[in-house]
């Protein structure tokens, strides 16, 4: 019983340290991408000058010209827009990639259940 208690407490301590380290790493990553909430963000800045758009993303600057619209783009009626959206296949049809993903998910779930079962039997028998 003492051996089980020592194992249990050591596993809990290791997992708690892992959680704390993971939370710290996630916070640093969020600050790196979005910036500190107390400071102004520099991760995304969009400015328009004459016929150019200047976008600053995470310190890199991208400049492009604004494309001129044609009459066909402006004159698109709501009915034509509705017809173009109806051409999208329905979500009921499963692609090959989604079938493979579902099969992989089920396999991983069964594997995790089996692994936890083996771990529980190991702890119980110790």
Q: pLDDT (tens digit, 9 = 90+) per residue, 31-49? A: 887 767 776 666 677 778 7
Whether 122 is in a domain gets the answer yes
| SS3 state of residue 122 | helix
Q: Give 36's DSSP letter.
A: -
Whether 118 is in a domain gets the answer yes
End-to-end, the C-alpha distance of the chain in Å comes to 9
Percent of the chain predicted with pLDDT > 70: 72
Whether 46 is in a domain gets the answer no
Position 79 scores a pLDDT of 62
Whether 40 is in a domain gets the answer no
The predicted-structure confidence for 15-33, as pLDDT tens digits, reads as follows: 999 999 999 999 988 888 7
Whether 75 is in a domain gets the answer no
Percent of the chain predicted with pLDDT > 90: 29
Q: How many domains does the chain have?
A: 1
Whether 110 is in a domain gets the answer yes
Given a contact cutoff of 8 angstroms between Cβ atoms, the answer to whether 6 and 123 are in contact is no
Whether 30 is in a domain gets the answer no
The predicted-structure confidence for 74-91, as pLDDT tens digits, reads as follows: 555 666 666 655 555 555
Whether 89 is in a domain gets the answer no
């Amino acid at each position: 019983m003492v051996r089980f208690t020592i194992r249990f407490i050591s596993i809990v301590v290791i997992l708690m340290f892992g959680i704390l380290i993971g939370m710290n790493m996630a916070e640093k990553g969020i600050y790196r991408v979005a910036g500190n909430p107390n400071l102004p963000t520099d991760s995304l800045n969009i400015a328009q000058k004459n016929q150019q758009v200047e976008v600053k993303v995470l310190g890199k600057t991208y400049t492009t010209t604004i494309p001129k619209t044609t009459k066909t783009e402006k004159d698109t009626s709501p009915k034509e827009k509705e017809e173009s959206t109806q051409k999208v296949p329905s979500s009921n049809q499963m692609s090959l990639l989604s079938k493979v993903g579902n099969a992989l998910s089920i396999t991983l779930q069964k594997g995790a259940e089996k692994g936890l079962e083996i771990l529980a039997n190991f702890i119980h028998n110790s």
